């Protein structure tokens, strides 16, 4: 069974596979903006898809670029929002 980090990481991988073809080659700690040339609209779409996939609501105070800069930072920001089913 996956822990919260594993659940979020799996969802992030799935979302990036849907949006970008080279998602398997992503460095987990490097900037996604630099790796994929993500713009603000794409980032909003990614956030919305993650909310849907993880069945969470991301509070406005978490919607900071620094929390979505890399896969590692996304996992760290969203893992506490996961609740046991």
Q: What is the pLDDT of residues 60-73, one digit of tens each?
A: 999 999 999 999 99
pLDDT, residue 48, reads: 96
Longest pairwise C-alpha distance within the chain: 36
- What is the domain count for the chain? 1
Q: How confident is the model at residue 85 (pLDDT cuts 50, 70, 90)?
A: very low
pLDDT, residue 33, reads: 86
Residue 81 in contact with residue 7, Cβ under 8 Å? no
- Structural domain of 26: 4-81
Contacts of 36 (CB under 8 A, 6+ apart): 20, 22, 26
Residue 5 in contact with residue 43, Cβ under 8 Å? no
Predicted structure pTM score: 0.87
CATH of the domain at 27: 1.10.1200.10
Residue 36 or residue 62, greater confidence:
62
Among the listed residues 75, 65, 61, the one whose alpha carbon sits nearest the alpha carbon of residue 16: 75
**Cα gap 85→13, rounded to integer Å:** 21
């Amino acid at each position: 069974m996956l822990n919260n980090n594993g659940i979020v990481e799996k969802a992030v991988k799935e979302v990036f596979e849907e949006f970008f073809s080279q998602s398997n080659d992503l460095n987990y700690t490097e900037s996604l903006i630099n790796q994929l040339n993500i713009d603000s609209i794409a980032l909003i779409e990614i956030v919305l898809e993650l909310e849907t996939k993880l069945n969470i609501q991301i509070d406005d105070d978490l919607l900071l670029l620094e929390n979505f800069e890399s896969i590692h930072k996304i996992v760290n920001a969203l893992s506490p929002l996961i609740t046991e089913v």
